[in-house]
Amino acid sequence: MKPVDADRAPEDSRGSERLRRLLTMLPESADDALDDLRRAVSACLGSEVTVEVDPGDRPGTGQRVHTGRVAVSWTVECPRVSDELCALIGQACTWTTLALDRADAVRAVDDAAEETVIVTEVVERLLSVHDVDQLLLSIATRTLGLLDADICGVLLREGDEVAMRSCVGHRVIDTSRLRMRRGQGVAGLVFETGRPAKVDHYVEDQTISRDFVGLAEREQTESALAVPLALPGEFLGVLEVWRRRPSVFTDQDVRRMVTLANFATIALRSARLHDEQVRANANLEKAHAALKHQVGVLGRTAELQHALLTTVLDGGGLPALARRVATQLGCQVGIYDGAGTPLAAHGGRALPDRLPPRAGKGRAFRRAAGLPPAARFQPVHADGDEVGWVCLLPTEDSEHAGEEMLDAVVGQVAMACSLSLLRERAASRARHQALSEVLWDLVQGAPEHRTAARARAQQMGVCLGARMRVLHGHLDNVEELAVRHGWETSRTDRLRRDVVRALRDREEGPRLALAGLRGDLVVAVAEALDPAAVKSLVQHIVDAVRREVPDLRSSWGVSRAHDEVDALPAAFNEAQTALSASHRLGGDHISLYEELGVVRLLLGSGSDPDLQTFIDDVTGPLVAYDRENDGALVRTLRAFFDADCSQRVAAEKLFVHHKTLRYRLERIKQLTGLDLSRHDDRMRADVALRLLQLNSDGA
């Protein structure tokens, strides 16, 4: 500021006084202070002056006083001003600067108060919302208004991306579907750095990626501002606003949005916790209800289970079990064996008379059985075998029980049936074990053991008075099958038991009086059948076993018919000999002792070749006939063989007519069953005659 020329005329003293009086006053506003300053200085100088606020360092025209934030200038035509007046004008400028600062401070306080009210209102509304989706929409809406923006979106983190979860003000649907990775767009930049980011000219800005420039052009956005939604150690997402008009987001905008984002983050976290709490409470209520229901079901099923077990222990059997369940639940109950045949039923007539094969295999089975989808099936097991099925058919009276109750009940009925069948099987197994001991005592025991065994058989209701045959079998390849298929010991033992069961439980044809098993050896006592019938019996047993295990091979030997129980040891020896022939000769693996012929002599033991039995079988009827009728059948048969089986030559040797010889040969066939036209029968008869002759010579 230049010094005032002393030669100039002095200023208006009244104006100076007015200026001094101004310094003692408190202006109403900054505008009033500026206006008072301009009038007071103009009065002092007698000329109009210009008052500027924050003029900076730009040079002015004419004379000028610049103090603080205020500058006063006037034209050069104005008389020069004294230094005293210049100092006074500088003081007035300082006074005005204080007034301006005071006004700015008041305005800042008012703005802060207003912003506090707005932010408080927004925060209260945000914190009052507990639904996450509604909260996100509220955040976007409040931010849009607070930042005077055109579009606002909330993007939440999903792994390595942030995805738009709520958006307002957009025109293009793709905006509401935005997904950004780190470094993509403004939100991606915030995601990468964790700090606020803004652009003033989105399309032209080179500091952000160009991934979404096309979308920005369609939305006609000009500027954007994004801030993080984050908690210590946790990045939740990004809050972003866009403006379609040319504008610059100020530091105050950034500060406001950061403040709002912080509260929004807290609200979002609170809403998520609230949702988790609500879900936890709902799950807890559901769990409580389910547990209460389950306890009720368990109570009822426990009561029913106790009743079923009591029925089993009392020996009520399967009909009593079906009646108990049907009566207690008001449903229909059917119990079937493994073949689908009904064993017990109660509660109505809607149950099938017979189950289709492969019971309980879903919709196809239910359609085949003609039953509704509500029907329930459960297999019944005993000793590891599937022995039957339980069918439970709900009715209108049983609807109150509930599906869980019915599901539990059908399993309990199946268990009770298993226990009942196991009890019956245990009793049956004990009986069969006792009968097996009787059998082995009869065929291999000492005389006193045979006598006791016969008495026990009579006590157990086994009749042994008729003519009997002994069946002796061997399971040839059980161990081979076990190795090939990887069977456990229990599986092979069950296979052996199935063979014995097939012997005992035959529903057609003659039944076996006794049957037993030792290892792979099977022994049974059957009524005396003719050779064809006994072969059919054994073949039926073999076929039944092969249906269960197609690869199983077995060999069988059958003794002759015997009248006395005391002859069973001999019959067992005969069956052993026939079994040995079955092993060695092959064929159909079924050999009858009486059909072995000379072979049985070769297979017999050295100490007991069974010669006399063999002789008696062939020559006994002929010797008896000759003795009673003074006949010559034995001599005729010998002559026939000596004549090389020529009837003419034999008749000549015996000095009889050839018709007489033919009659005698036919009579021999009737008495012995030998067909002398067959080589085997000729050989049997020839050997028997020679042994008869040897025994006669020895005697």
Residue 684 exposed, middle or buried by CB count within 10 Å (0-12, 13-18, 19+): buried
Q: Tokens in use for 364? A: 């196809």
Are 82 and 150 part of one and the same domain?
Answer: no
pLDDT tens, residue by residue, 91-141: 888 888 888 888 888 877 776 666 666 666 666 666 666 677 887 888 888
Last residue of a domain, one of 534, 566, 595: 595
Q: Is the dihedral of CA 484, 487, 489, 492 positive or negative?
A: negative
CATH number for position 220: 3.30.450.40
Containing structural domain, residue 582:
463-595
Cα–Cα distance list, 253 to 138, 144, 167, 587 (Å): 19, 12, 20, 106
Percent helix, strand and coil across the chain, each rounded to 5? 55, 15, 25
Are 99 and 148 part of one and the same domain?
Answer: no
Listed range (153-162, 220-229, 249-258) with the worst mean pLDDT? 249-258
pLDDT at 364: 65
pLDDT tens, residue by residue, 645-688: 888 888 888 888 888 888 888 888 888 888 888 877 777 777 77
400 falls in which pLDDT band (50, 70, 90)? low
Are 269 and 347 part of one and the same domain?
Answer: no
* Gap between the Cα atoms of 416 and 185, Å rounded: 71
Strands (E), 294-434: 332-337, 342-346, 376-382, 385-393
Are 176 and 210 part of one and the same domain?
Answer: yes
Are 618 and 478 part of one and the same domain?
Answer: no
pLDDT tens, residue by residue, 306-344: 888 888 887 778 888 888 888 877 788 888 887 778 888
Q: Tokens in use for 583? A: 């092993």
Cα–Cα nearest to 126, from 110, 149, 145: 145
Residue pair 329/401 in contact by the 8 Å Cβ criterion: yes
CB burial readout 477-502, b (16+ within 10 A) else e: ebeebeeeeebeeeebebbbebbbbb
**Residue 337, strand partner residues:** 388
pLDDT at 169: 93
* Gap between the Cα atoms of 34 and 40, Å rounded: 10
* Gap between the Cα atoms of 388 and 378, Å rounded: 9
pLDDT tens, residue by residue, 579-596: 887 776 654 578 888 777
Pairing of strands 332-337, 197-199: unpaired
CATH number for position 682: 1.10.10.2840
Average pLDDT, integer, range 360-368: 62
H-helix or E-strand spanning residue 139:
helix 132-146
pLDDT tens, residue by residue, 605-638: 444 446 677 777 778 888 888 888 877 888 888 8
Q: Tokens in use for 483? A: 């190795």
Average pLDDT, integer, range 360-370: 63
Average pLDDT, integer, range 399-418: 76
Question: What's the number of domains the chain is made of?
Answer: 5
CATH number for position 320: 3.30.450
4 falls in which pLDDT band (50, 70, 90)? very low
Q: Within a domain: residue 8?
A: no
* Gap between the Cα atoms of 505 and 498, Å rounded: 10
| Angle (deg, nearest 10), helices 403-444 and 447-459 | 140
Residues 6+ apart with CB under 8 A from 525: 439, 442, 443, 464, 468, 469, 470, 471, 512, 513, 514, 515, 568
Q: Within a domain: residue 559?
A: yes
* Gap between the Cα atoms of 226 and 186, Å rounded: 7
Please determine, for residue 698, whether its predicted confidence score (pLDDT) is greater than 50: no
pLDDT tens, residue by residue, 179-221: 999 999 899 999 999 999 999 988 888 888 888 889 999 999 9
pLDDT at 5: 40
Are 470 and 577 part of one and the same domain?
Answer: yes
Q: Within a domain: residue 320?
A: yes
Tell me the residue type at 14: R
Q: Within a domain: residue 213?
A: yes
395 falls in which pLDDT band (50, 70, 90)? confident
Are 204 and 264 part of one and the same domain?
Answer: yes
Q: What is the residue-averaged pLDDT of the chain?
A: 79
Last residue of a domain, one of 548, 571, 595: 595
* Gap between the Cα atoms of 404 and 418, Å rounded: 21
Are 137 and 220 part of one and the same domain?
Answer: yes
Cα–Cα distance list, 432 to 461, 517, 519, 562 (Å): 12, 10, 16, 24
Q: Within a domain: residue 436?
A: no
pLDDT at 164: 94
Q: Within a domain: residue 430?
A: no
Residue pair 185/156 in contact by the 8 Å Cβ criterion: no
pLDDT top residue among 41 and 604: 41
Strands (E), 298-347: 332-337, 342-346
First to last CA, the chain: 177
The winner for highest mean pLDDT among 182-196, 367-381, 564-578 is: 182-196
pLDDT tens, residue by residue, 504-530: 766 566 667 788 888 888 888 887 778
Q: Within a domain: residue 438?
A: no
pLDDT at 7: 40
* Gap between the Cα atoms of 30 and 537, Å rounded: 129
Q: Within a domain: residue 454?
A: no
155 falls in which pLDDT band (50, 70, 90)? very high
Report helix, strand or coil for 282: helix
9 falls in which pLDDT band (50, 70, 90)? very low
Are 239 and 337 part of one and the same domain?
Answer: no
Please determine, for residue 699, whether its predicted confidence score (pLDDT) is greater than 70: no
Please determine, for residue 407, whether its predicted confidence score (pLDDT) is greater than 50: yes
Are 21 and 137 part of one and the same domain?
Answer: no
Residue pair 592/534 in contact by the 8 Å Cβ criterion: yes
Are 401 and 468 part of one and the same domain?
Answer: no
CATH number for position 500: 3.30.70.270
* Gap between the Cα atoms of 252 and 196, Å rounded: 13
Residue pair 18/40 in contact by the 8 Å Cβ criterion: yes
* Percent with pLDDT over 70 in the chain: 84
Residue 335 backbone dihedrals phi, psi, to 5 degrees: -120, 125
227 alpha-carbon distance from chain centroid: 47
Hey, what's the torsion of the CAs at 525, 528, 529, 535, to 10 degrees?
30
pLDDT at 511: 67
Cα–Cα distance list, 499 to 250, 382, 543 (Å): 97, 17, 11
Residues 6+ apart with CB under 8 A from 344: 317, 318, 319, 321, 322, 334, 335
Are 273 and 174 part of one and the same domain?
Answer: yes
Cα–Cα distance list, 557 to 473, 511, 575, 582 (Å): 6, 18, 5, 7
